[in-house]
Amino acid sequence: MMVGFGGFASAIVDNIPFTATMVEIVAKIAEENPAKTTSPLWWALALGADFGCNATMVGASANVLVVALARACGYPISFIGFMKHGVPVAITSMIIST
């Protein structure tokens, strides 16, 4: 669930602010459940946020930079055009990581 939610949210909001916000939530969950291992939860947060940001051009700062450089070189990339390639890559990588 964390990989899916993290991936979806990271595609809408830049992955760094999303992860910074979710770190506090995961830390609170780990604090309330000291006997249970929370390592998989941390991995799920990291993988979901990292792979989900590939779905849209606003998901990561690097995506915005690449689109701007491509446009400057005469290769415009639309938001939907980016998603046509980014969403399958993001979903596939999140499924594999899960």
- Is the four-CA dihedral 22, 23, 28, 29 of positive or negative sign? positive
Whose tokens are 């890559």? That residue is: 89
Number of domains in the chain: 1
d(CA 22, CA 25): 5
Q: Mean pLDDT throughout 74-98?
A: 95
DSSP class of residue 57? T
Average pLDDT in the 69-94 region?
96
Q: What is the mean pLDDT of residues 93-97?
A: 94
**Counting every residue, how long is the chain?**
98
Whole-angstrom distance, CA of residue 63 vs CA of residue 80: 13
User: Which among 14-18, 57-61, 81-85 has the top mean pLDDT?
Assistant: 81-85
Q: Return the pLDDT at 77.
A: 95
Q: Which domain holds residue 40?
A: 2-97
Tens digit of each residue's pLDDT (9 = 90 or more) over 23-50: 999 889 888 887 777 788 889 999 999 9
